[in-house]
Amino acid sequence: MTETQHAGSGLTTPGDARLTPVGAFLRRFKLDELPQFYNVLKGDMSLVGPRPKLPQFADIPMMPYRPGITGLASIAFRSEDQVLASLPPERVEDYYQERIKPLKANLDVCYMCHATAASDARVIAATALNVNHLAVVAERPPSDPCALHANLPVDSWHYRCFKRMVDVVGGLVLVAVFLIPGILIALIILMTSRPPVFHSEERVKRDGMPFRVWKFRSMRSHSPLRGHALPWRMDKQRHDP
């Protein structure tokens, strides 16, 4: 396996030497993100919304929407890792900043400006069915997506309340469904590498506020990324994801 990233980069590809074999499998099927149901129940995230951004990639600092586990940009860029893996290592971050990030931002804004309970349901269905087709979730994209950045509408209170109710109920159901698989994943991580099992990273949520998003650790403990790890014995240490 060859290294396809600069040490310390916030972006990873399938060939990144920092990934463990188990971590590569978890990332391929997005299973490393199961602990984010905790963020949903806590209120930092929603089931559907813009993906939480690393601070250096926070394209819209004051996005007035709660970040989500899945969203339109997540579906459209499901194969983002493969795209980045095809680039020379020195071009990865520049390409992401110049090409991918603006497109993701536009998709996030376009979707959230017209989001409804029905469109959220279609996003969840498209994610579960592994559908990679924008027509499944896009209702009526605006003619000038970039113009929306200057005047982002705030979602209505009834949609916000309904969305939060769905997040709590759906989050509890999904926690129950994935509890046993999550325990098995934690045990496999412990058996194939040393602790920690989880790691957290600072991301940007609604209105530009920072928060910590949780994942199963998919990288080697000595990897040069910054983050807070949570060992099995629950004592806080400074580890890289």
Burial group, residue 59, by CB count within 10 angstroms (0-12, 13-18, 19+) = middle
CA angle (144, 147, 148) in 5-degree steps: 100
Average pLDDT, the chain: 76
Scored b (16 or more CB within 10 A) or e, 94-104 reads ebbeeebbeeb
Q: What is the pLDDT of residue 60?
A: 60
Q: What is the pLDDT of residue 238?
A: 37
Q: Would the pLDDT of 236 be above 90? A: no
| 43-68: average pLDDT | 76
| φ, ψ at 69 (rounded to 5°) | -70, -35
pLDDT digits (tens, 9 = 90+) for 157-205: 777 888 899 999 999 999 999 999 999 999 999 999 888 999 998 888 8
CA dist list (Å): 62 to 75, 96, 138, 210: 23, 21, 23, 11
More confident call, 134 vs 202: 202
The whole-model pTM stands at: 0.76
Scored b (16 or more CB within 10 A) or e, 22-46 reads bbbebbeeebbbbbbbebbbeebbb
pLDDT digits (tens, 9 = 90+) for 22-55: 999 998 888 999 999 999 999 999 999 888 876 6
**Tokens linked to 112:** 């959230």
Task: Quickly tell me which residue has 């109920």 as its tokens.
Answer: 169
